[in-house]
Amino acid sequence: MGKALDLKYAELMRAHPFGTALYLPIPSSQFQPGFIGYFDSTGAWNLIGDITSSSSLPSGLSTIDGTTLKRAPSQKQTWGPKLGNETRGRAIDLSVGLGAIPMLAAAALPFNVSACFRFQADKNHGAVLLTSGPVVHERYYHKEPLLQWMKQNAKNIVKSHPEVRENGLWIITST
């Protein structure tokens, strides 16, 4: 049996320097820098807590020392389609057939012209990431304080969430 779609998608998109691509979108209220959790066998995100807030962490886990953790300013970025390995894309010219737009506007009929792309996989699989609006990049400057926190809390995390043993634990450092 082949890899699960979420793992295959992440693998195909790994050439991009934006971290691990997620097959299923996760709301920012559940997935942001400082949050910890794991992906289960279905690819679903399971939030454990926010290491910067003691009220959101299970008992037995400590918050991170805020003096060692520095958050970088948010950056807004506009992306075009991001293509995975073995995937090609081509913009399709929409100017052909636009002669009817003045008539639609004069008749007060709604119309919409937007970019159109065609995507093709080189083999039997491909991956494309499309976003609308600006993408907001949030991150911490340094990962070392997060790794130190992990070492200090690893035993208690596994004790309170045994699923982590099988699925691994993620500390979100950048979104």
Euclidean distance between CA atoms 13 and 146, whole angstroms = 25
Q: Look up the pTM and report it.
A: 0.74
Report the alpha-carbon distance of residue 33 to residue 164 in Å, rounded.
19
Q: Cα dist. 93→98, 100, 102, 113 in Å?
A: 11, 16, 18, 11
What residue has token string 């003096």?
Answer: 67
Ordered per-residue pLDDT tens for the chain, 175 residues: 467 888 887 887 788 777 788 888 899 899 999 999 999 988 899 999 999 998 889 888 988 887 888 999 999 988 767 777 766 666 665 555 555 555 555 555 554 555 666 666 767 777 776 677 788 889 999 889 999 999 999 999 999 999 999 999 999 998 8
**Helix-then-strand count for the chain, H and E:** 4, 9
